[in-house]
Structure 1
Amino acid sequence: MCPVTTTTAAGADGLTKVYGEGEARVVALDDVTVDFHSGQFTAIMGPSGSGKSTLMHCVAGLDTPSSGRVRLGEVDLSGLSDDQLTAVRRDRVGFVFQAFNLLPTLTALENITLPLDLAGRRPDPALVDAIVAAVGLGDRLGHRPAQLSGGQQQRVACARALVTSPDVVFADEPTGALDSRSSAALLALLRRGVDEFGRTVVLVTHDPAAAAYADRVLFLADGRLAGELTEPTANRVLDRMKTLERVA
């Protein structure tokens, strides 16, 4: 596991997100302040409807807070135009979602390097080779997504998120569509992204076994922070989740 650092890769101050109005009004996040440390793997957990994915989407710049401030490094996202925000997401953030979001007409290698191509940047051959080796699909790089298993496709998506050397990789339930073996391979790859490539990873998950790959686990309940756990194990995470669900 990586040591805790004091450098903040991303974070939020007084983050509130409200959907709807009147009787349909839902407070998804309620005055959340949190930091995600550089070079650290953080998992976010909580009961259904606790605000896990909303927190990630706001911090990643995919959703707009109702109030509060979101930071990516020293950049305040609330002060950016749409074009500036798009550039920040493209250049400084990596995403891995439950849906693989690979382009079917491109090979695995072309999908991995696609963010660099879109940004007009030349790939670093050494970094690409290192990430391809970590993915473990060196003999499948010429195959299109339809020729790959679900687990292989998700590993391609993970490599794509790492190849731009982002400040933060956000992963939202990335193992939800995978079997246990493929899930373990993907989580190990995210862990290697932290340990070997110095990335910062933020993972939303409902699975205590997945959270055990992290350096720390943040817990949400009813849109508020409900504690954290360092050096997590699956059993410790499960016990904390049972407590939160009983309270909920």
Structure 2
Amino acid sequence: MILRKKQLLTTLFMSVCLLQTPMLMAASDMRTEQVQFKKGTSSAVISSSIKGYEMVDYELRANAGQVMNTSLATKHGATYFNILAPGENETAMFVGSTSGQQFEGVLPKTGIYKIRVYMMRSAARRNEVASYRLEIIISGKATKTTSHDAKVVGTPYHATGKIPCTAMSGQPMGTCQFGVKRQGNGNALVTVTHNNGKKRVIIFQNGRATGYDQSQADHPKFSSSKDSDLNIIKIGSERYEIPDAVVYGG
């Protein structure tokens, strides 16, 4: 009886270890590096590589109103970079897989920016290796952000409401709830919630929709166009119509 109890405890212990191992491995796949410009310069060039599910966060401090120019050169067709604004850990203000391998724009906030280099899952699960060259340039003087909105009580958003939307092509337009976090200068994150609870975070830069948060499992095609002051956004079979007033306020 005692032997059987010992065997059971051993089995349970091994099961817990096996369940925890993927979590520990996932945590070790992310590393953080501080970007330091050489004295008298405002740029840095980093040459490195990643393998499989490895990701690197390059962190640097910049001020609202400054211009960031970041580009990634790699021969690996499934390696990209995202840019995360200060205080963000998941939602990116720039998504390389939909917007390309170069970002240039006015920074909306003062603080620590993360430039996250990663490999798409299709290549990561094959444990491929990608070498890359990352160039970061910060220029211009700091200015005060133009967003002074008060938050909607009880929410993290500067404004909430409804926008026209549809989840499937060919279906009539309905409405979806939205919440917007304005970052100034036409930069914003618009979170849209469908009636079934599904969410999309749409990224605006300088008043234009440039991508969406791809932390979800699906990665449908993104496109956007403008009709006067209306942003028409398509993500796979989904369609959203977001007025400029949502992004800028007023």
Shorter-chain TM-score category? under 0.3
Give me the TM-score of the superposition, normalised by structure 2: 0.25
- Larger helix share, 1 or 2: 1
Task: Compare relative contact order (CA 8 Å, sep 6+) and give the higher one, 1 or 2.
Answer: 1
Give me the TM-score of the superposition, normalised by structure 1: 0.25
Larger radius of gyration: 2
